[in-house]
Amino acid sequence: SQTIHQWPATLVQPVGSPLSLECTVEGTSNPNLYWYRQAAGRGLQLLFYSVGIGQISSEVPQNLSASRPQDRQFILSSKKLLLSDSGFYLCAWSKTGQPGANVLTFGAGSRLTVL
């Protein structure tokens, strides 16, 4: 069966420091991978998605970047964190092709607090 791992679960970082959140998927190959940010009252905002190694699509301009160095690994990064980067970040995966590409399986999330 497929599993998705996301870490760290909780992170407190000072403004201006770098960020690296990691996500890996097991039990499948060539998944679509996603980073969402969940904010209270604002739902889930799609930040990045990837359909393959090295292929990253950004949905909103921001202080963050994503990379996919391996088929089942997705990394969310920042060189210098801002206060506004605080939030709950969710990694997700889906199968390729319609309609399976729309059925997401989410990780446990990473709560980032920038002070």
Q: How far is CA 105 from CA 5, 10, 64, 87, in A?
A: 11, 20, 22, 20
Please give the residue ranges that form the binding site for other proteins (CB under 8 A).
32, 34, 36, 41-46, 49, 51, 57, 59, 90, 94, 96-99, 101-109
Our CB check for other proteins shows the closer of 14 and 43 to be 43
Smallest gap from Cβ 13 to other proteins, in A, equals: 23
Quick check: 93 and 24 in contact, CB under 8 A? Answer: no
Our CB check for other proteins shows the closer of 70 and 96 to be 96
Smallest gap from Cβ 61 to other proteins, in A, equals: 15
Smallest gap from Cβ 91 to other proteins, in A, equals: 11
